[in-house]
Structure 1
Amino acid sequence: MRFLLSNDDGVLAPGLQAMADALASLGEVTVVAPDGERSAFSSALTLDRPLRPQRLANGFIALNGTPADCIHIALNGLLDFEPDLIVSGINAGANLGDDVLYSGTVAAALEGRFLGHPAMAVSLAKPKIEIRGIDDYRAAAAYAAQLIAKWPGLGLPPRSLLNVNVPGGEPSEHTGFAVTRLGHRARSQDVMKLEDPRGNSVYWIGALGDPLDNAPGTDFYAVSEGAVSITPLDPDMTHRAAMTTLTSWIKQL
C-alpha cells in the first residue's frame, strides 16, 4: 500500500514519526506535514499567500500551511502518485466529540476524503502535558497499523472516514476496540482577559469543556473504559430530523 501521512502538530512531532515507522511495515510512506504546529485549524485552506514545500533530511516534506493544505497540495500536483490511504496523526491529545469540528488532525483526513481517498485520523487520548516522547505513541501507532492492515476488507460508504482515539496507559490496560458515536462536551471554559505590558487587552481562549454526553456507546465512554474508540464520520452535516419542523415553519412565512 501507498500512504500519505500528515498531522497538525507539525512535521517534527514525535507522533508523526511513530506513525510513519508503523506504516513503513505495511507499505510506502510519504509525509507532507505543516512546518509548525497548526492545532485547531480545522479545514482552513491558505488562500492569501503561496505555499512552499521543503524536503527535510529525513525525507519528510514540510509545508508552510495548514493540515488541510498539506493534503490538498499533495493530491493536486505535489505527488506523482495516488495514495491508497490518507492517515493523519498521531495527534498529541484526544479528538473526541465536538473536538472533530476544530481538529486539524481530523481535517487533514477529511480533506483526503473530499478528494476521493479513504482516510483515517488517529489521536492519543492523553493530556499533552503527560506525553514525554515518541515511545508514548508506539501503542497507538501499533493499533492504527492493526486496523490499516485489515483496511481492504472494510468497505466504508463513500465520503466517510474513521476517527480513532487510543487511550493512554499501557497496552495491558486496554480493553480492545469499540465502535462508537461522537459524544459532546460542555461549553469551553471562560475566555481569560489579561493585559499586556503596554496596557492593551489580550484574550486567551479557555480550555475545552468537560464531557457532557459520555454515555455508553460514545467515544468518551470507550476511551474512559480503556478501549480504542473508532468512530465513522460523515462530513454531511445536514440535520435530517429537523427538516420536517423547518418545512412546517417556512410554510408560515
Structure 2
Amino acid sequence: MKILLSNDDGFAAAGLSELYQHISTMADCVVVAPDRDCSGLSSSITLDRPLRVTEHDNGFISIDGTPADCVHLALNGLMDKLPDRVISGINLGANLGDDVLYSGTVGAAMEGRFMSKCALALSVCGRDKSNLESAGRVVKRLFSVLDRLDVPKGTVLNINIPACDFGDIRGMKVTRLGHRERPAPPVKVVDPRGKAAYWVAKVGRELDAGEGTDFHAIANNYISITPLQYDQTHHGTLSQVGKWLGVNL
C-alpha cells in the first residue's frame, strides 16, 4: 500500500515525524508538506505564483505553498503512482467543531478525497509534544484496521486524540461536529507609524458540546472520529429555496 503523508505544521514538525515513524513500518510512505507552518489555511491553493519544490536529506519533500497545494501537487505531478490514501497530521492542537472550516490539516486531507481509500486528518488535542507518542500509538492501531472500513468515496475521517497518556484513553467514539460561539473581537494594535492593525482573537467558546459531539468525546478522554464530506450542500433546505424562487420579484 502506498500512502501520501502531509500536514499544515510544516515538513519539519514533530507530529509529521511521529506519523511517518509509525505508518512507514506498515506502508510505503511519501511525505510532501509545506515548508513552514501553514495553520488556518484550510483548502486554499496558490494561484498567483509558481510553487517551488525542495527534496530534503531524509526524503521528505517540502513545497512553498499551502497544505492543499502540497497534496494537489503530489497527486497531480510529483508522484509516479497515485497513493491509496492521504493522511494529514499529526497536528499539535485540536480540530473540533467549527475548526474544520479553517484547518489546514483537514484541508490537506480533503484534497485526498479522490483516492480509492478515505483520507484521514489527525490531531492531538494539546500543544505539548510529549502527547505525540501516545497519539502515534493510537494512529498505528487505527491504521492496522482501516481496510475493514467501508465508507462512500470522498469521505474524510477527522480524528482527534485526547492529550493524555495512552493508558488514560477510554476508547473511541463516532461523533458529529460540535459548534462554537462567535469568536472574540479582533485585538486592535497601532504600529509605530500610527497605523492600525488587528490580531485575530481566540476561537469562540463551546456552544454545542453535548453528548455525541466531538467536543464531548475529547472532554471525556475518548478518541473522536467524525466522518466529513466535501459536499457542503444544505440538502434540507433545497425545497424551501425552490419555493422561494417561485415568488414574484
TM-score by length of 1: 0.95
Q: Which moved more, 1:181-190 or 1:235-244?
A: 235-244
**Structure 1 CA distance for aligned equivalents of residues 117 and 75 of structure 2:** 10
The C-alpha deviation readout for 1:108-152, integer Å capped at 9, x for no partner, is: 0000104665210000111x3xx1x3x421211221221111111
Amino acid at match of 2:53: P
2:173 is equivalent to residue 178 of structure 1 = yes
SS in 1 for 2:218: helix
When the two structures are aligned, how many residues end up with a matched partner? 248
The C-alpha deviation readout for 1:159-178, integer Å capped at 9, x for no partner, is: 11100000101112111110
SS in 2 for 1:81: coil
Q: Is the 8 A contact 2:131 2:165 kept in 1?
A: no
Q: Which moved more, 1:139-148 or 1:201-210?
A: 139-148
Partner residue of 1:240 out of 235, 239, 243: 235
Amino acid at match of 2:199: W
2:150 is matched with: 155
2:39 is matched with: 39
2:81 is matched with: 81
**Structure 2 CA distance for aligned equivalents of residues 68 and 180 of structure 1:** 25
1:223 is matched with: 218
Q: Is the 8 A contact 2:83 2:115 kept in 1?
A: no
**Structure 2 CA distance for aligned equivalents of residues 76 and 250 of structure 1:** 40
1:30 is matched with: 30
Q: Is the 8 A contact 2:124 2:162 kept in 1?
A: yes
The C-alpha deviation readout for 1:195-233, integer Å capped at 9, x for no partner, is: 011111010011111111001000000000100000000
2:90 is equivalent to residue 90 of structure 1 = yes
* Alignment root-mean-square deviation, CA: 1.2
Residue 81 of structure 1 and its aligned partner are, at CA, apart by 1.4
Residue 3 of structure 1 and its aligned partner are, at CA, apart by 1.1
SS in 1 for 2:91: strand
**Structure 2 CA distance for aligned equivalents of residues 192 and 116 of structure 1:** 44
Partner residue of 1:146 out of 127, 141, 146: 141
Structure 1: runs of 5 or more not aligned: none
**Structure 2 CA distance for aligned equivalents of residues 136 and 150 of structure 1:** 22
**Structure 2 CA distance for aligned equivalents of residues 252 and 222 of structure 1:** 45
**Structure 2 CA distance for aligned equivalents of residues 118 and 206 of structure 1:** 33
State the identity %. Answer: 46
**Structure 2 CA distance for aligned equivalents of residues 116 and 67 of structure 1:** 20
SS in 1 for 2:111: helix
SS in 2 for 1:151: helix
Amino acid at match of 1:250: L
Runs of 4+ aligned residues of structure 1 deviating over 2 Å after TM superposition are 114-118
2:52 is matched with: 52
1:252 is matched with: 247
